[in-house]
Amino acid sequence: MTGLKPETREKLKKVATPTLMTALYKRGLRNQWIQDVHRINRDAGPMVGEAFTLRYMPAREDLNQLSVFRDREHPQRKAVEICPPGAVLVMDSRKNPRAASAGSILISRLMVRGVAGVVTDGGFRDTPEIENLGIPAYHNRPSAPTNLTLHQAIDINVPIGCGDAPVFPGDVIVGDAEGVVVIPAHLADEIADETTEMTAFEDFVTEEVLKGRSILGLYPATDEQTNVDFAAWRERTGR
């Protein structure tokens, strides 16, 4: 995957997911938030990368014995080995955390391969170990049972749903301490530019509010004095 520009990646690392969701809302996109997922390792930093997907379907017991992992083409194992460095592995677990989507060994493998993050709308196992990994990992809740209990990995890098959000391969996935947003690939550059500007204004507004200023006329900037003050703030801060 080479569609995500390095400068776009760096901009998105500095933008909060609520700001991104507002920019998407302005474009009529209202379902790009992956519902009910939480970052396990709070200190892992921001997550930005193109989506590489893994789709699970309900497991059929006779096809999901432990012996299936001996097959090097098993979709879960294969996805871990071929997910491109810099991408985010996004798993469709049908919002079912009763069995794990993956565990610390596979997520460690993704980390050392340079993958930018991992997301499931189900659960991960070995979460005490995942808490100490340097790769951002998002899930619904811890789940000790092996994925084979309920999930059959069936397809790689196809369009999926994750936490009610549509995810197409190559979409740009951004995660922070709040959660995960999906940016359609063709919008990534303009969203990054716009939200960088929005972030500067939001930082200015926050400073003003903490000084005691009213939000009326400030947020949104309906008073001309707000624009004058913002321009002066930008000159002073280099933003």
| Residues making up the binding site for substrate | 103-106, 125
Q: Which residues are annotated as a binding site?
A: 103-106, 125-126
For tokens 């707000």, the residue is: 226
The SS3 assignment for 113 reads: coil
Q: How far is CA 194 from CA 70, 188, 198, in A?
A: 48, 10, 6
Which residues participate in the annotated binding site for Mg(2+)? 126
CA atoms of 220 and 124, how far apart (whole Å): 41
Dist CA 226 CA 214 (whole Å)? 11
Question: Which residues, in sequence order, are bridge partners of residue 117?
Answer: 88
Q: How far apart are CA 2 and CA 222, in angstroms?
A: 41
